Amino acid sequence: MKSLYTKAYIAGPLFNVHEIDWLEQISAICEAFGILTFLPHRDAPNMGNKPAIEIFTADENGLYSCDFTIATLDGYDVDSGTAVEIGMSYVRGMPVLGITTDSRQVSHINAMPLAICEMGLGVVHSLPELIEKLSEIMYSIKVAEQ
Protein backbone atom coordinates (compact mmCIF):
# COMPACT_ATOMS: atom_id res chain seq x y z
CA MET A 1 0.00 0.00 0.00
CA LYS A 2 1.43 3.39 -1.03
CA SER A 3 1.58 6.00 1.72
CA LEU A 4 -0.69 8.97 1.21
CA TYR A 5 2.07 11.24 2.47
CA THR A 6 5.11 10.63 0.27
CA LYS A 7 5.59 14.18 -1.07
CA ALA A 8 4.77 17.54 0.49
CA TYR A 9 4.34 20.92 -1.18
CA ILE A 10 5.94 23.51 1.12
CA ALA A 11 3.91 26.72 0.82
CA GLY A 12 4.89 30.10 2.17
CA PRO A 13 6.20 33.52 1.23
CA LEU A 14 9.62 33.69 -0.43
CA PHE A 15 10.44 37.40 -0.23
CA ASN A 16 13.52 37.37 2.00
CA VAL A 17 16.26 35.05 3.24
CA HIS A 18 14.46 34.42 6.53
CA GLU A 19 11.31 33.17 4.80
CA ILE A 20 13.36 31.00 2.43
CA ASP A 21 15.36 29.57 5.36
CA TRP A 22 12.11 28.81 7.24
CA LEU A 23 10.69 26.84 4.31
CA GLU A 24 13.98 24.98 3.90
CA GLN A 25 13.88 24.00 7.60
CA ILE A 26 10.36 22.61 7.10
CA SER A 27 11.56 20.72 4.03
CA ALA A 28 14.53 19.25 5.91
CA ILE A 29 12.23 17.99 8.66
CA CYS A 30 9.98 16.32 6.09
CA GLU A 31 12.95 14.76 4.32
CA ALA A 32 14.19 13.35 7.65
CA PHE A 33 10.91 11.39 7.72
CA GLY A 34 11.46 10.16 4.17
CA ILE A 35 8.92 12.61 2.75
CA LEU A 36 9.97 14.20 -0.54
CA THR A 37 9.25 17.91 -0.88
CA PHE A 38 8.56 20.52 -3.53
CA LEU A 39 9.98 23.95 -2.70
CA PRO A 40 9.06 26.50 -5.39
CA HIS A 41 12.33 28.45 -5.13
CA ARG A 42 14.39 25.26 -5.30
CA ASP A 43 12.36 23.11 -7.69
CA ALA A 44 11.06 25.81 -10.04
CA PRO A 45 13.99 28.27 -9.85
CA ASN A 46 14.51 31.54 -11.68
CA MET A 47 10.82 32.28 -11.93
CA GLY A 48 11.02 35.84 -10.58
CA ASN A 49 11.35 37.49 -13.99
CA LYS A 50 8.96 35.19 -15.82
CA PRO A 51 5.42 36.06 -16.88
CA ALA A 52 2.79 35.38 -14.22
CA ILE A 53 1.29 32.46 -16.17
CA GLU A 54 4.67 30.68 -16.21
CA ILE A 55 5.11 31.18 -12.46
CA PHE A 56 1.58 29.94 -11.80
CA THR A 57 1.98 26.90 -14.08
CA ALA A 58 5.29 25.89 -12.47
CA ASP A 59 3.78 26.16 -8.99
CA GLU A 60 0.60 24.39 -10.07
CA ASN A 61 2.59 21.49 -11.54
CA GLY A 62 4.68 21.28 -8.38
CA LEU A 63 1.64 21.39 -6.13
CA TYR A 64 -0.19 18.72 -8.09
CA SER A 65 2.84 16.43 -7.97
CA CYS A 66 2.45 16.26 -4.18
CA ASP A 67 0.22 14.34 -1.79
CA PHE A 68 -0.28 17.07 0.82
CA THR A 69 0.67 20.65 1.62
CA ILE A 70 2.43 22.22 4.58
CA ALA A 71 1.57 25.92 4.64
CA THR A 72 3.15 28.75 6.61
CA LEU A 73 0.41 30.87 8.17
CA ASP A 74 2.69 33.49 9.78
CA GLY A 75 2.34 37.22 9.23
CA TYR A 76 -0.35 39.74 9.97
CA ASP A 77 -2.41 37.90 7.38
CA VAL A 78 -1.67 34.70 5.46
CA ASP A 79 0.48 35.47 2.39
CA SER A 80 -1.77 35.81 -0.67
CA GLY A 81 0.17 33.26 -2.74
CA THR A 82 0.12 30.81 0.17
CA ALA A 83 -3.64 31.31 0.53
CA VAL A 84 -4.07 30.45 -3.16
CA GLU A 85 -1.93 27.31 -2.73
CA ILE A 86 -4.02 26.29 0.30
CA GLY A 87 -7.20 26.73 -1.76
CA MET A 88 -5.76 24.81 -4.71
CA SER A 89 -4.80 21.98 -2.36
CA TYR A 90 -8.32 21.88 -0.94
CA VAL A 91 -9.94 21.77 -4.38
CA ARG A 92 -7.65 18.84 -5.30
CA GLY A 93 -8.59 16.96 -2.12
CA MET A 94 -5.07 17.33 -0.72
CA PRO A 95 -4.89 17.69 3.06
CA VAL A 96 -3.15 20.79 4.39
CA LEU A 97 -1.09 21.11 7.55
CA GLY A 98 -0.71 24.70 8.72
CA ILE A 99 2.22 25.99 10.74
CA THR A 100 2.25 29.32 12.54
CA THR A 101 4.65 30.72 15.11
CA ASP A 102 3.17 34.21 14.98
CA SER A 103 1.52 35.35 18.22
CA ARG A 104 -0.62 37.81 16.23
CA GLN A 105 -2.40 34.85 14.60
CA VAL A 106 -4.15 33.83 17.81
CA SER A 107 -7.10 36.16 17.40
CA HIS A 108 -7.34 37.13 13.76
CA ILE A 109 -6.11 34.42 11.42
CA ASN A 110 -8.21 34.38 8.28
CA ALA A 111 -10.98 31.82 8.73
CA MET A 112 -10.76 30.41 5.19
CA PRO A 113 -7.17 29.07 5.20
CA LEU A 114 -7.51 28.15 8.87
CA ALA A 115 -10.64 26.08 8.21
CA ILE A 116 -8.96 24.23 5.33
CA CYS A 117 -6.03 23.36 7.61
CA GLU A 118 -8.33 22.30 10.45
CA MET A 119 -10.36 20.08 8.08
CA GLY A 120 -7.09 18.60 6.83
CA LEU A 121 -4.13 17.84 9.07
CA GLY A 122 -4.54 20.69 11.56
CA VAL A 123 -2.25 23.50 12.66
CA VAL A 124 1.03 23.29 14.58
CA HIS A 125 2.81 26.17 16.30
CA SER A 126 6.51 25.29 16.14
CA LEU A 127 9.05 23.10 14.38
CA PRO A 128 9.06 20.66 17.32
CA GLU A 129 5.27 20.38 16.99
CA LEU A 130 5.72 19.79 13.25
CA ILE A 131 8.12 16.94 14.03
CA GLU A 132 5.61 15.49 16.49
CA LYS A 133 2.74 15.77 13.98
CA LEU A 134 4.73 14.17 11.14
CA SER A 135 5.79 11.40 13.52
CA GLU A 136 2.12 10.73 14.35
CA ILE A 137 1.17 10.71 10.67
CA MET A 138 3.97 8.36 9.69
CA TYR A 139 3.22 6.06 12.64
CA SER A 140 -0.48 5.85 11.72
CA ILE A 141 0.49 4.95 8.14
CA LYS A 142 2.85 2.26 9.38
CA VAL A 143 0.15 0.77 11.61
CA ALA A 144 -2.41 0.86 8.78
CA GLU A 145 0.00 -0.92 6.44
CA GLN A 146 0.45 -3.84 8.84
CATH number where 117 lies: 3.40.50.450
Residue 2 lies in a domain: no
Residue 1 lies in a domain: no
Given a contact cutoff of 8 angstroms between Cβ atoms, the answer to whether 11 and 84 are in contact is no
Q: Number of structural domains, the chain?
A: 1
**How much is the pLDDT for 1?**
38
Cα 27 from chain centroid? 9
- Alpha-carbon distance of 73 to 80, in angstroms, equals 10
pLDDT over 60 (residue 56) = yes
pTM for the full predicted model: 0.93
Residue 103 lies in a domain: yes
DSSP string, 20-43: HHHHHHHHHHHHHTT-EEE-HHHH
Residue 110 lies in a domain: yes
- Alpha-carbon distance of 93 to 66, in angstroms, equals 11
Task: For residues 97-103, give the mean pLDDT.
Answer: 90
Residue 128 lies in a domain: yes
Instruction: Report strand pairing: 36-38 vs 7-11.
Output: parallel
Query: Which residue(s) pair with 38 in the sheet?
Result: 9
**How much is the pLDDT for 105?**
56
